[in-house]
Amino acid sequence: MERRRSGHRINSYFCRTSSTILFWRTFFLVLLFTTTTNALVKIPKNKTVPAVIVFGDSIVDAGNNDDMITEARCDYAPYGIDFDGGVATGRFSNGKVPGDIVAEELGIKSNIPAYRDPNLKPEDLLTGVTFASGGAGYVPLTTKIAGGIPLPQQLKYFEEYIKKLKGMVGEERTKFIIKNSLFVVISGSNDIVNNFFALPPVQLHYTVASFTALMADNARSFAQTLYGYGARRILVFGAPPIGCVPSQRTVAGGPTRDCVARFNDASKLFNTKLSANIDVLSRTLRDPTIIYIDIYSPLLDLILNPHQYGFKVANKGCCGTGLIEVTALCNNYTASVCPIRSDYVFWDSFHPTEKAYRIIVAKLLDRYLNRFF
């Protein structure tokens, strides 16, 4: 008799547990289908992009470094001065960064939160997060120098993310989300300026050609790993004209602060190798779902022709003197902020303003997104 009662209690427990899991899965599925904003990019009616999932460096970090001991963090004013409520979230800009803008343009949500944000809500996982970390690079030493989150660790967080998704919506729906989401990978700048050109011992071991080949090979491996997880819409960005960002013009551009040709040449060499690697990978996989994105040309166009886009200043940042201030040097105590951020291509001496990002993202989505549909 006692055994039957015990069995009844156990069965009741499992029924309640199963019912709870079913309820929450249903709840999250409803959220998945109803959480959208007004899309600016038109997607075919029979297609969907449920989430934007981001990896990389400070260009797309939204606060993953906020609790870390590193100079590559910016969870303090005046960063975020034009973000929602003027809050410094850890985004390396005055406002939104590319991941946020992509999600907004696709009508998914207004911004992409950091995966390591302690205030992250479970429902945020359904529509995408960023694993990116300021200071990260394709070469392991690059991230060690900055004290950020290495790309392999970003992938470990992604594995954790997948497990959480499965617990929320089940395995089949998780596979659907991963397959149909837009994956964004942005890295490479730190490898070039903070590793290769900053460390003479590295230049003794590598040439520019061999170092950029290492970068491109690691980038290809990263994209292939994402493909192995089930991702089928992967955008891998090349390096920008890093020799033209204000800080590099200041430290290596001479008295007239010209663009640093050798830095830009390294970016272009990396981009050539990366583009070729992605092409070979796509042919090997027989699946053109990994796309190389040229970020070099659109950003250079803004820098060389600022007035065509409504900018007044392209060789200095908005924060402080605009010559060298970035992260800790861009603060409310020692650096003033330009009153009209929309006049500037760059927010600090390394990262563009939200306005610049919006122009670039709009161009890139218009050029590349239709390849997935």
Phi, psi of 90 (to 5 degrees): 110, 5
Annotated catalytic residue: which of 61, 267, 282, 351?
351
Phi, psi of 152 (to 5 degrees): -60, -35
Q: How many residues does the chain have?
A: 373
Annotated active-site residue 8? The verdict is no
Concatenated DSSP letters for 174-231? HHHHHHHSEEEEE--HHIIIIIITT-HHHHHH--HHHHHHHHHHHHHHHHHHHHHTT-
Residue 2 Cα distances to 5, 10, 11, 13, 347, angstroms: 5, 12, 14, 16, 72
How far is the C-alpha of 227 from the C-alpha of 185, rounded, in Å? 13
Annotated catalytic residue: which of 57, 191, 348, 349?
348
Annotated active-site residue 351? The verdict is yes
Q: Under a CB-based contact definition with an 8 Å cutoff, are residues 245 and 194 in contact? A: no
Residue 331 burial class via C-beta count within 10 angstroms: exposed 0-12, middle 13-18, buried 19 and up? middle
Annotated catalytic residue: which of 57, 58, 93, 133?
58
Annotated active-site residue 67? The verdict is no
Specify the DSSP element, H or E, that contains 55.
strand 52-56
CB atoms within 10 A of CB 236: 26
Catalytic positions, written as ranges: 58, 348, 351
